[in-house]
């Protein structure tokens, strides 16, 4: 039960691959890692959630906080490769209306 994030930079696009379970135990680690990201108008961030096996409201809160910071810094943020479970959770909480999310199936590894 842990969470990991690996980054890859491609020009102005920063892709973060998140893996593991995001709950009240692991959320602080993820929050710290996301806080380290330097955001600006020129930066686009994509967080790949294909390997997130579990998330609850604490985890959603981490993404909400990061989304708020991205909006403040005028950076572009997108959550990609969500499983149908994750997509459903974003939908029932209303977050899918707020944030830019994309359900899985599309491989971003080849971009």
Partner 1 sequence: MRAFDYIEIRVPAKPQYVGVIRLTVSGLASRVGFSYDQIEDLKIAVSEAVTNVVQHAYDSYDDGEIVIGNALYDHKIEVMVSDYGNSFNFEEIKSQIGPYQEDENVELLREGGLGLYLMETLMDEVRVNNNEGGVTVFMTKYVTREQVKDDDETITTLSNIQR
Binding residues for partner 1 (CB under 8 A): 1, 21, 23-25, 54, 56-58, 60-61, 84-85, 88-89, 91-93
CB of 57 to partner 1, least distance (A): 4
Alpha-carbon distance of 65 to 31, in angstroms, equals 8
Which CB sits closer to partner 1, 17 or 90?
Answer: 90
Residue 35 φ/ψ, nearest 5 degrees: -70, -25
Alpha-carbon distance of 54 to 18, in angstroms, equals 11
Which CB sits closer to partner 1, 29 or 76?
Answer: 29
CB of 87 to partner 1, least distance (A): 9
CB of 42 to partner 1, least distance (A): 32
Which CB sits closer to partner 1, 1 or 110?
Answer: 1
Q: From the CA atom positions of the chain, what is the Rg in Å?
A: 13
93 to each of 37, 52, 56, 97, 105, how far by Cα in Å?
Answer: 26, 18, 11, 9, 22
């Amino acid at each position: 039960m842990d969470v990991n994030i690996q980054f890859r930079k491609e020009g102005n696009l920063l892709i973060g691959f998140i893996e593991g379970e995001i709950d009240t135990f692991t959320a602080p680690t993820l929050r710290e890692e996301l806080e380290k990201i330097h955001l600006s108008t020129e930066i686009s961030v994509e967080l790949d959630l294909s390997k997130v096996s579990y998330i609850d409201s604490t985890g959603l809160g981490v993404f909400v906080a990061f989304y708020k910071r991205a909006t403040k810094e005028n950076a572009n943020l997108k959550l990609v490769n969500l499983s149908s479970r994750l997509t459903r959770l974003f939908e029932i909480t209303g977050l899918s209306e707020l944030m830019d999310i994309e359900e899985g199936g599309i491989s971003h590894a080849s971009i």
